[in-house]
Structure 1
Amino acid sequence: MQEISDVVRQRIRGLRQARGWSLDALAVRCHLSPSTLSRIETGRRRIDLEQLVALARALDTTIDHLVEPVDDADVIIRPMQHQEPGLTTWVLSREPARNSGSHVAKMRITPERRTGPEFQAVHPGREWFTVISGTALLFLGERQIPVAAGNAAEFSTMIPHSIGAVGGPVEILTIFDQEGERAHAAQ
């Protein structure tokens, strides 16, 4: 695991460079000398709390964002597989609060999945999906819309809908909101 002081230095340098600022430009904004700032960024000087506050303010961020620990658990998602007849789902996003209330999932749908007008769901929100492989058949109200690999679909989930597979398995990547997640979990 990377030392927190190394992470803070990298974040300060990264934010400064992302704004296109030189050491001199940031030094003026946070009332430090360019040489002090250079030593902070290179690790030749420790950052005291007063300097950290000034740097966070000058970089338009918070101290929390500068010192947030780095851990692979914050990056890697190990999705659990949920399986039912004709449908396997892997939720690929964390809890909805960290993802603006949306969920991302990969679904593998086989022709065994029960679809069609009698299996359509309705719930508030919107859904989007892209077909990774195979061909999906989107039942959207009275319409049946084939969606081939490489194409995407987006629709209001207030329209009765279900997704099936045409001629073999189909894999899709989908984004839906919390209402959609509850509806998909109930199907």
Structure 2
Amino acid sequence: MEQEEDLDAVVRQRIRALRLARGWSLDALAARCFLSPSNLSRIETGGRRIALDQLVPIAKALGTTLDQLVEPVGDADVVIRPEPEHRPGVTTWLLSRDHPQTGVRVAKMRITPERVEREKPGVHPGHGWFWVLSGTVRLRLGERELLVGPGQAAEFSTMEPHVVSAHEGPVEILTIFDEDEPGHLHGTGPTTL
């Protein structure tokens, strides 16, 4: 019962925080979710029990989902301790957990000149993005070859044939992978850009 009350308090806090973050008054949110301002006030303050048929329009009005609004606060460790995944010329550290809602994973990659490049550049739906931490990346996009240095980022359509490799020494990058892009994931972690 205590967990239910704790979650109830968290949901109330989330509703209020999202409303205030948008700069909305109680009247503004109430109008968007077809509730009276007094009912909404009692929901936020705990003076009224929250009903599912009220949460759905509130979540929609706030631009979130019901799942996100009622997601329990976990005691899970918030610190990520990435384990390196090694392949010839590439080491990858996953820096985020699986997030089914977004389908996005963040990784750090170290690419060395020893990396065996694919004979044919990769092509798949989506966008590639990386930020260079150190070294210089050689980015082949179709017939173009670009050098991307430390502190620079690159974003490109992955429908264009592409290869990311190290130029004249090791390179470290931060990158974002979409889990729906099979070219980016292998087993438990990302493979290549």
Report the TM-score when normalising by structure 2: 0.68
Q: Which has the higher helix share?
A: 1
Distance change >3 Å, CA 32–CA 138, structure 1 → 2: closer
After superposition, give the CA deviation of every residue in 1:44-83 in whole Å (9 maximum; x if it has no partner): x35242xx53354255356544322122549665544210
Unaligned regions of 5+ residues in structure 2, if any?
Answer: none
Separation (CA, whole Å) in 2 of partners of 1:164 and 1:58: 47
Classify the secondary structure of the residue corresponding to 1:71. coil
Superposition pairs of residues 175-186 of structure 1, within 5 angstroms: 175-177=176-178, 178-182=181-185, 185=191
Aligned length: 179
Which residue in 1 is equivalent to 2:111? 109
Matches within 5 A, 1:38-187: 38=41, 40-43=43-46, 45=47, 47-49=49-51, 53-54=53-54, 56-58=56-58, 60=60, 63-71=66-74, 73=76, 78-95=81-98, 97-100=100-103, 102-115=104-117, 119-125=119-125, 126-177=127-178, 178-182=181-185, 185=191
Query: Aligned pair in 2 of structure 1 residues 47, 77: CA closer, same or farther (>3 Å)?
Result: farther
Q: Give the drift of 1:137.
A: 1.6
Aligned sequence identity (%) = 54
When Rg is computed on C-alpha atoms for both structures, the one with the higher figure is: 1
Q: Which runs of 5+ in 1 are unaligned?
A: none
Matched position secondary structure for 1:60: helix
Distance change >3 Å, CA 25–CA 128, structure 1 → 2: closer
Query: Are residues 1:14 and 2:17 paired?
Result: yes
- Give RMSD over aligned pairs: 3.7
